Structure 1
Amino acid sequence: MRFFLISTAVAALCSPAFADQIETAAPVREVTVFPWGASVTRSAELTVPAGKHELVIPGLPEGTDPATLRVTADGAVLGAVSLQEGRALPSDAGKTPEIAAAEAEVNRLETALLERDARVNAILARAQAAEDTVAFLLAMAESDGLAQSDIATLANSVGAEILKARETAIAANTEAAAAAQGRDDAERALENARARLDALRPPEGEGRTLVVAIEAGAEPVRLSVTSLTADAQWEPIYDAWLQREAKTLTLDRGLMIAQNSGEDWRDVKLMLSNSRPADQTAPSVLTPIFEETYKPSADKRMSDYSYDEGSARVAMAPAPVMAEAASVITAGIQYAGEVVTYVYPEPVTIRDGVDALRLELDTHQLTPEIRAEAVPTRDSTAYLVAETTNSLDDLLLPGRVTLYRDGLLAGQSRIEQTPTRDRLQLGFGPIDGMKVEYQIPKEATGDRGILSKSNTATRSAILRVSNLTNESWPLRVIGQVPVTRQDDLKIGWSSTPEPTTQDRDGQRGILEWDSTIAPAQVQDISLTIDLNWPDGMSILGNY
């Protein structure tokens, strides 16, 4: 087996003369989809006479990248390989049985509808002829020059003919109405058949043609062609079902796949990998940072600092002492650790540009810790939270999750990457009747948000949770205190009651209080913060 990088040169310039050209189909058989992009493998197997040939494979998408194309062959020696615009020779490849059957059904329904309309029109023609006969007879009866005896005879004769003609018209119109019944159903059937045919046909476009030179022996030739496309993606998708009374959390895992590669993938073996070949493959490169000093002007401020093209110019003027807000950890979507690949057990079809395919993966039962969680500085109500551990054998990949609370839709959120045995926390919406308040009494050195001019300040706050429901809840209250990296700024704090956890998840200044709140109970947490800094400096309150 030999691998060849595709060449876009004209085949005739890079290979000897061949005995013949043989066109063959190489449908897509296997697809590996990445979070962004996909590896597409098509294959062909055919028996050819021993000797040199050109295998012509039409129908590759127009966006096929020659740099990613790889060709392998069993049962033959590969020669020159060329990817050409348009077709290398006229195509006589037959239609697939599905397309042929769909076209035959469209033709049958079109013919049936035409024949129905022709029958109705023929009946209506009889009705119109009868009406024309009536008009003719009436015109004759009104003509001049008839004798009195002729008029009497004509009246009897015309009257009978008019009656006969009108009866014929009525009967024809009735027959035409009956024949026309069901036409709407026939039209809908034809529209559905045309839609099915359109769905089976490959995307429009001339595409590209692969020409492969081989020297065959006595064995059948098995050809494999692999290429990459950027126009495909997949992501995990989850449904989380929380039952409070049973204290269970069911996690359904699925996969959402879409592609716009320029061709349909029909009945392919599907694999999904969390590898990211389209992303950065090596660490970033650092360049030198050159620091320069200069004498600042009298009104130079920290806001004048700038970084330009890798050089940092830092003014050496004294900086005001400021309280540092608690750092916030923002987890991005990462695919760290070992590559995970999912192999779907059944062949699938994903059409170009029209299918957003969801495939079910598996279902897992998790044991949650259910509680009410309140953040008084941000929210006015507590939220229902379920915390559990990823007990699966593999990590949970980042993806959207639809949340259900006691069988009812609670909202949507996102699961970040969660390794095995790591913590997983999901919120299932607000708890009606769990009121949350954040109260700030007047400060010792001024109202909230005012710059303090002395070198001390005391701030106080009350975190209040009122349970207006008729049941007890495990409760977690989350608060924060300011922190600093500056030795000259001293920050002390106290709370009643004491927090259960400090510096939650490594975040400085984040506090947690765990308790149980009974029906109609009000819980207050009193928080006091003391700040001290050097004389002559100022501090901007940000808590």
Structure 2
Amino acid sequence: MRHVLLSTALTLVAMPAIADQIDTTAPVRKVTLYPWGASVTRVADLSAPAGVHEIVIPGLPADLDASSLRLSAKGASIGAVSLQTGRALPKNPQKSEEITAAEAEVRRLENALAARDQKAALIEARAKAAQDTITFLLGLAENDGANLGDIAGLAGSVSQQALQAHETVVNAEAEARLAQQGREDEVAVLEAARARLEALQTPDEDAQTLVMSVETGAQPAQIEITGFTQNASWQPVYDLRLTTEEKQLELDRGLLVSQHSGEDWRGVELTLSTARPSDRSAPSELEPWFPRAENPPPPQPAAAPMARMKAESAYDDAMVNVEAVVVETAQARMMGATVVYDYPAPVDIRTGVDALRLKLDSQQLTPEIVAEAVPRRDSSAYLVADTTNSTQQVILPGEATLYLDGAMVGRRGLDLTAAGDDLKIGFGPIDGIQLERTVPEEAEGGRGFISKSNTRKETSVLKIRNLTAQEWPLRVIDQVPVSTQDDLQVDWSASPSPDETDPDGKRGLLVWNAPIAAEEEREITLTVDMNWPEGKDLLNGTN
């Protein structure tokens, strides 16, 4: 059993003794959904005589955070408030309007169903009476007491009356079938009404009950209750549709929302916020750093193999722990102003079902379409759309589905892209543009790769063949090593010379930009020469 007392944001006022207890409901009207968690606002409408009442709102979800509850009232003053779980409330001497209306609806539907069944029973009784008449007439016709002179008249009379009786049976059975049409629908509506009444009268045992003392005036009052639940989330999803002939890129923005609060949200006003109330709100704190310079410890005797392995393992474990702390504090987080989206229409979000996808809007971007070739890594060029975020809004991180000329070609994640930032999106390989990187033999019979103790020279050829029937804007990217030491000398040459070096600050990258015609084959020769002092080893970095 749990009993939680809440302090409201309002000033508590002294109130006279409570006059009565009123059960009511507070349906969810507004939801502000965060990437993790949701602020849920409920509204309870009161129409009660002026005075002090104990308002009881049962059926609140078990995950409702008591410390997050905030209450406000229009046309009423709120006194003591408690959120209760695990104990039965005292019997309610006065039914709420919702329960009264639910009971009346159940009675109305029961009476309507009974009237339908009565009508069908009367029709069936007519059919039964007609069938009995037929049986009687047939028995009368077979009576041995009838003389021959009456046979003709009796036969004609029985035939006429039997025909009328059969027609009555046929018509009655047809009317009975019509009377029964729609009965299943009425039964389903009645069962739903009974279920709603039962839910109002006997809330879930795991649910919570909000009890408050409220003083109302002569006019109807309204109480707004806002609380926080952890069991809800939203994330952006995107469809990117590129049409190469029109050179258009359409960005369809959508939302995936889900919640497991334990109750359905019906017809709510939905706001989506990029704020993260579940995350910490303050930056990390640094403690003073006091380095010390001390004499090194005396050399230790060599440890036995097993002891050395244990020591190394302990050292590795310590380093893993240190790295884990660094990774946790260095996680990327959103910075800047909070972005808020107001969904334009009321939404239904059921609890515990698959995520609901909602459409946000569509934006038109202006792409530059190129065939990007990286012969060092790939065997074919890729179709790439270079564009700018011209939506005047930030593009939030999310999963994107890619479509090229109407066909789905893949999925990828979109990074956070501020308004005006560049956006580069790949739409799959262009199989007709083939790539090859080779190290050819030299004229003297040697190889294009020469390595000595302190020298390394490599000549490579990048080959691009356009086997398609159209011209493509082509971007070829390769790299040369970058020296960060004075005694490591790196020289390179390329034919033809690259159009860009170190693009976007990426040192060592080379870029060639030029269209490639249909059926054209192109070669780029790249030579790299590295020299370093004798006695040192060359350690390759990432290439």
**TM norm structure 2:** 0.70
Tell me the equivalent position of 1:134. Answer: none
CA distance in 2, matches of 1:210, 1:414: 43
Unaligned runs of 5+ in 2: 9-13, 125-169, 303-307, 323-329
Tell me the equivalent position of 2:336. Answer: 337
1:472 and 2:505 correspond: no
CA gap of 1:370–1:59, structure 2 versus 1, over 3 A, is same
CA distance in 2, matches of 1:205, 1:382: 62
Superposed CA deviations along residues 84-119 of structure 1, whole A, max 9, x for unmatched, are 104534576646879978x969x979x99xx99xx9
1:205 CA displacement: 5.4
Task: Count residues in correspondence.
Answer: 448
What are the equivalent positions in structure 2 for 1:38-437 lying under 5 Å apart?
38-86=38-86, 88-89=89-90, 94=98, 206-287=206-287, 288=289, 290=291, 294=296, 308=318, 334-437=333-436
Code of the residue aligned with 1:19 in structure 2: it is: A
Tell me the equivalent position of 2:35. Answer: 35
Contact kept in structure 1, 2:448 and 2:459, CA below 8 Å: no
Q: Secondary structure of 1:67's match?
A: helix
CA distance in 2, matches of 1:439, 1:104: 83
Tell me the equivalent position of 2:154. Answer: none
Contact kept in structure 2, 1:15 and 1:80, CA below 8 Å: no
Q: Secondary structure of 1:469's match?
A: coil
Structure 1 vs Structure 2 CA RMSD: 4.7
Code of the residue aligned with 2:271 in structure 1: it is: M
Tell me the equivalent position of 2:487. Answer: 488
CA distance in 2, matches of 1:495, 1:84: 78
Contact kept in structure 2, 1:5 and 1:69, CA below 8 Å: no
1:508 CA displacement: 2.3
Superposed CA deviations along residues 241-266 of structure 1, whole A, max 9, x for unmatched, are 21111111122222121111111100
CA distance in 1, matches of 2:26, 2:15: 22
Superposed CA deviations along residues 375-418 of structure 1, whole A, max 9, x for unmatched, are 22222211111111111121111222221111222222222221
**Which shifted more, 280-289 or 55-64?**
280-289
CA distance in 1, matches of 2:5, 2:376: 60
CA gap of 1:262–1:538, structure 2 versus 1, over 3 A, is same
1:34 CA displacement: 1.0
CA distance in 2, matches of 1:501, 1:298: 57
CA gap of 1:108–1:498, structure 2 versus 1, over 3 A, is farther
CA distance in 2, matches of 1:99, 1:38: 35
**TM norm structure 1:** 0.70
Unaligned runs of 5+ in 1: 9-13, 120-174, 313-330
CA distance in 2, matches of 1:16, 1:480: 83
CA gap of 1:298–1:462, structure 2 versus 1, over 3 A, is farther
CA distance in 2, matches of 1:448, 1:20: 97
1:64 CA displacement: 0.9
Superposed CA deviations along residues 205-261 of structure 1, whole A, max 9, x for unmatched, are 531011122333444332111111111111122222211111111222221211111
Q: Secondary structure of 1:488's match?
A: coil
Tell me the equivalent position of 1:459. Answer: 458
CA distance in 1, matches of 2:264, 2:481: 57
Tell me the equivalent position of 1:507. Answer: 506
Superposed CA deviations along residues 159-183 of structure 1, whole A, max 9, x for unmatched, are xxxxxxxxxxxxxxxx9xx99xx9x
Code of the residue aligned with 2:505 in structure 1: it is: G
CA gap of 1:297–1:210, structure 2 versus 1, over 3 A, is same
Code of the residue aligned with 1:254 in structure 2: it is: G
Percent identical: 48
CA distance in 2, matches of 1:474, 1:38: 48
CA distance in 2, matches of 1:358, 1:289: 54
Tell me the equivalent position of 2:496. Answer: 497
What are the equivalent positions in structure 2 for 1:519-538 lying under 5 Å apart?
519-538=518-537
Code of the residue aligned with 2:49 in structure 1: it is: P
Contact kept in structure 2, 1:289 and 1:310, CA below 8 Å: no
Contact kept in structure 2, 1:289 and 1:311, CA below 8 Å: no
Contact kept in structure 1, 2:439 and 2:447, CA below 8 Å: no
